[in-house]
Structure 1
């Protein structure tokens, strides 16, 4: 990486509001300089408490739009809608994708729920989200991305997440089943670019997170992803290119730190899933607080910031 390249790095702690233990871990990570922004699940069991924590510790906060896990915010949609099963619960990470492929989702209902979540975010925090992304990447799914972009535009939310990670194809440590999902995410993200741009949405120059989740997070892997991304962007610039992006580049690192959820504690209306109860959450917390990672940032012109600082 060129030492002349200044890097603005947004380290986002996702799933804020999922449970008190996850929230406490994210706050501890923020106070240690490990994350610089959080994404709030407003239908999470501890969303109100998380919003209070963000205010108490002055944590930059955005909205983690959720259409796949737990119970809708819109009371009307809990009774009977295309977004939920017979128990009034969202269809799940793969269930929503299957229903979408079969043409079974109502886009007006998608829009209604997204708007309800923005409204609840404002009620809980007293502010408009600094950014808005999607839990389990639902915001870039076909047809949903149009509704998502329009809701952001109408609510004055300018930043979102575009989960395209350069160099992901080189990550041979990721299991093939996970890579199949990651490739689909990247394809959906690339197909969202034109729509997001048409609504004036913005996102950092680079995204990292698919290759560094859970046990795969390490100082080495974060460093590798940053440097490969920077080199790839530089090589794509024409000779003599001198735009601001060649001097200062922006990156979002998606993370999921926290103290692991306890059984029956937390979730979005169904209790915590295996992902949240996993010790991988603690592993991410420890890596993000690791002095060696912070030394890497300091020695390579990497400055942590929030979306409002981009």
Structure 2
């Protein structure tokens, strides 16, 4: 595994280095045709170094930097070292300008020096991130959906292996689950798990529940949007009212079953209700791609639809986050649990937790969330009868118990 990662990094470094060298060579030859080479070479380096500065931070050493730029001091150091070398080399190398070997030495000597500088910069970035990186919050959805789900979530909460949970107020065991949570973790408020895609229907909302795709389509079709908008508002208001009755909480921290809160028509309704209903936080799903995973995990992500789901939700989160910021509603920095939904065990769990820890939070955001769906065996038995058909299939999987065991086995993360 180490050899493969070293080889992958060498390829990435080579790709960035060759790109920067090509830029260097093109600028060098272009400027030296009209001016002295000793001036053309430093200018060419300055242009190419910007490509290297960004490319190595965002690609080559992304594990250490988390996809962020190096500190500017490293760029200044690179400039100082390389400008001196680039200015002196043309004077020290024998032969006339334009010889291929001479040009190669002019171009690739800075590349070798940069390898040393960027390696040190990457180590510095990794160290700084570890010093300031908080652990992600471990969160569980679907509390109140069924007693077997509650059993696993409350067990983890009692072991301090869980930081939060979302209450599905239309679930069969919502009232009992809410009481049990408040006894176990009275200082940690529950989140409202808004459910619009499953569950019991009501006469005043004939078009609900509706699938994620149907609501996404309604967001794009004006006539359909007008028809569904008022029903969405009624359904959301009913769930907020029931949530307050069960929990006694005034402020609402909200997420969504199947991430429905990010669908534009639903988000618009939530933003409309937010001032009167004290909605202060809405979950988004900006999930960094994990590194160091075996190929089999990526094959599973493609086969299960996790990668497609990840792409859709990245677009919806990118659209939602500035809207939330404009109206003063908080959201989480990053998120883990879309790409490998329902498979947060083993390598995916460790890799995503590592990425979230490295990503930190970012200015203006709350701590990142790692989502799981633990449950005891038998959670699917009564769900079909209550209109939770998709959840019945999901909770029939033995991976629900595997996620429970995986979270129980994790070291304390507080």
1:144-183 alpha-carbon deviations (Å, 9 max, x no partner) = 2111123233222312211110116987241253321221
d(CA) in 1 for partners of 2:360, 2:130: 15
Q: Is the counterpart of residue 126 in structure 1 residue 248 in structure 2?
A: yes
Q: Is the counterpart of residue 43 in structure 1 residue 167 in structure 2?
A: no
Q: 1:212–1:179: structure 2 CA closer, same or farther, 3 Å change rule? A: closer
Q: Is the counterpart of residue 62 in structure 1 residue 184 in structure 2?
A: no
Q: Which residue is 1:83 aligned to? A: 207
Q: Is the counterpart of residue 270 in structure 1 residue 270 in structure 2?
A: no
Deviation larger for 266-275 or 61-70 = 266-275
d(CA) in 1 for partners of 2:385, 2:241: 17
Q: Which residue is 1:255 aligned to? A: 372
Within-5 A mapping of 1:1-310: 1=126, 2-58=129-185, 60=188, 61-72=190-201, 78-79=202-203, 81=205, 83-84=207-208, 90-103=209-222, 104-105=224-225, 106-128=228-250, 131-167=253-289, 172=298, 173-176=300-303, 177-214=305-342, 216-229=343-356, 231=358, 250-266=367-383, 269-270=386-387, 273-290=392-409, 293-294=410-411, 297=413, 303=414
The answer as to whether partners of 1:43 and 1:268 remain within 8 angstroms in 2 is: no
The answer as to whether partners of 1:44 and 1:268 remain within 8 angstroms in 2 is: no
TM-score normalized with structure 2 length: 0.60
Secondary structure, in 3 states, of the residue corresponding to 2:282? coil
d(CA) in 1 for partners of 2:265, 2:364: 33
1:24-82 alpha-carbon deviations (Å, 9 max, x no partner) = 1110011122211110001111111111111221253110011111125xxxxx11535
Task: Flag as ranges the 4+ runs of structure 1 deviating above 4 A.
Answer: 98-103, 168-171, 229-234
1:160-214 alpha-carbon deviations (Å, 9 max, x no partner) = 2111101169872412533212211111111111221122111122211113432
Which has the greater radius of gyration? 2
d(CA) in 2 for partners of 1:250, 1:232: 10
Identify, as 1 or 2, the structure richer in helix: 2
**1:10 positional shift:** 2.0
Q: 1:83–1:221: structure 2 CA closer, same or farther, 3 Å change rule? A: same
d(CA) in 2 for partners of 1:109, 1:287: 40
Secondary structure, in 3 states, of the residue corresponding to 2:370? strand
The answer as to whether partners of 1:43 and 1:70 remain within 8 angstroms in 2 is: yes
Q: 1:165–1:101: structure 2 CA closer, same or farther, 3 Å change rule? A: same
Unaligned runs of 5+ in 1: 73-77, 85-89, 238-242, 298-302, 304-310
The answer as to whether partners of 2:309 and 2:339 remain within 8 angstroms in 1 is: no
Secondary structure, in 3 states, of the residue corresponding to 1:175? helix
Unaligned runs of 5+ in 2: 1-125
The answer as to whether partners of 1:20 and 1:266 remain within 8 angstroms in 2 is: no
Which protein, 1 or 2, shows the higher relative CO under an 8 Å CA cutoff with sep ≥ 6?
Answer: 1
d(CA) in 2 for partners of 1:30, 1:13: 10
d(CA) in 2 for partners of 1:189, 1:17: 26
The answer as to whether partners of 1:19 and 1:45 remain within 8 angstroms in 2 is: yes
d(CA) in 2 for partners of 1:262, 1:222: 22
TM-score normalized with structure 1 length: 0.78
Q: 1:45–1:232: structure 2 CA closer, same or farther, 3 Å change rule? A: closer
d(CA) in 2 for partners of 1:206, 1:129: 22
Q: How many residues align?
A: 274
d(CA) in 2 for partners of 1:167, 1:185: 13
